[in-house]
Amino acid sequence: MELTINQQKKIFNPAPSSLGAVLLTELPASPKGIAVALNNQVIPRDHWNSTEIQDKDSILVVTATQGG
């Protein structure tokens, strides 16, 4: 399965079963303060594990930062 994560193409074999599985692979520490969009649609954190992904999907992970 080919996914684009933050504008970088990545190949997954075997294919992950859900958005949550992809995030667990890519962000094993499961940081707080992140937002995730799948194909330009924000997915709430409580839906990550139940959101199915397809080949060629695009995932954007944004991390909140402090500052001013």
Q: What is the 3-state secondary structure (H, E, C) of 24-67?
A: HHHCCCCCCCEEEEECCEEECHHHHHHCCCCCCCEEEEEECCCC
Whether residue 23 is contained in a domain is answered as: yes
Q: Domain of residue 40: give its range.
A: 2-63
- DSSP class of residue 7? T
**How confident is the model over 1-29, as pLDDT tens digits?**
999 999 999 999 999 999 999 999 998 77
Query: For position 33, which CATH number holds?
Result: 3.10.20.30
Task: Report yes or no on 68 lying in a domain.
Answer: no
Q: Number of structural domains, the chain?
A: 1
pLDDT tens across 22-52, in order? 999 998 776 788 999 999 999 999 999 999 9
Element (H, E) at 12: none
11 part of a folded domain: yes
What's the pTM value of the predicted model, to 2 decimals?
Answer: 0.89
Q: Is residue 27 in a domain?
A: yes
Confidence of residue 68 (pLDDT cuts 50, 70, 90): low
Banded pLDDT at 58 (limits 50, 70, 90): very high
Is 20 among the domain residues?
yes
